[in-house]
Amino acid sequence: MKILRSLYEVKTYRATLKASVGFVPTMGALHAGHRSLLQRARSENEICLLSIFVNPTQFNNPEDLLRYPRHEVQDLELAAQQKVDAVFLPTVEEMYPPNDTFRIEESQLSHLLCGAFRPGHFSGVLTVVMKLFQLVRPTRAYFGEKDFQQLHLIRGMVESFFLPVKVVACPTVREADGLAMSSRNLRLTSEEREHAPLLFKTLRGEPDLQLARQKLEQEGFYVDYLTEQWGRRFVAAHLGSVRLIDNVEVL
């Protein structure tokens, strides 16, 4: 497994590849959800490439950026177990040099749902994904449906800018109790972790949106939004200091 830490290294490595490239961009703290993306990429492409980069431009809260879990050694072990061919671990300085003033903006969808509560978040996401796509030039890129709004925006960006990459959506991977897997779950206290599955249970089990919101608030969640769109039900809610998101199909 090759470890690529600079733009020069990833560009040089990519130039040697003549095969299909499956790409999984992440912010690290890898879990079983990421493992499923890597397995899909591994099975559908000749080369599997993973990136790990905690992207500062998508954090509207500086404290959230500082608290984001970073587990490079464990992440590389998981990548090796999944037979990843190369891992790209760029620095902030290379991805965002001092003279870099360009950003990708979307004018409608990015201001809904999470975008309404996290100003600038999706501009940061789209900008870093565009940069990574330009460096890696993947055949296919894999994203989880847990971040459905992000997935929808990235698909739109690929279509708008005629990017030669297929965006592949992968089902949300859940814990045995239904909680959607997320790197942020590591920041839940033991008590909060026991409480967190109520988010999915209520999202899926209560047909009335107003009652569902009331139930969550009574259970100690601070709800940013609970709504239905694109044939799905979406929720974002804080439990303690951790913001959780989830979505399910409306049946």
For the stretch 185-225, pLDDT in tens is 999 999 999 999 999 999 999 999 999 999 999 999 999 99
Structure tokens at 32: 């079983």
- The pTM (predicted TM-score) of the whole model is 0.96
Q: Which of 31, 34, 121, 152 is catalytic?
A: 34
The amino acid at residue 227 is T
Q: Specify the pLDDT at position 155.
A: 98
Whole-angstrom distance, CA of residue 51 vs CA of residue 136: 9
pLDDT at position 97 over 90: yes
Q: Is 111 a known active-site residue?
A: no
- Which pLDDT band holds residue 123 (cuts at 50, 70, 90)? very high
Can you list the domains of the chain with their CATH numbers?
2-170 (3.40.50.620), 183-244 (3.30.1300.10)
User: What is the DSSP pairing of strand 232-239 with strand 47-52?
Assistant: unpaired
DSSP letters for 113-155: THHHHSTTHHHHHHHHHHHHHHHH--SEEEEEGGGHHHHHHHH
Residue 251 has pLDDT above 90, yes or no: no
77's enclosing H/E stretch is helix 72-81
- pLDDT one-digit tens code per residue, 144-201: 999 999 999 999 999 999 999 999 999 999 999 999 999 999 999 999 999 999 999 9
The answer to whether 246 touches 203, Cβ cutoff 8 Å, is yes
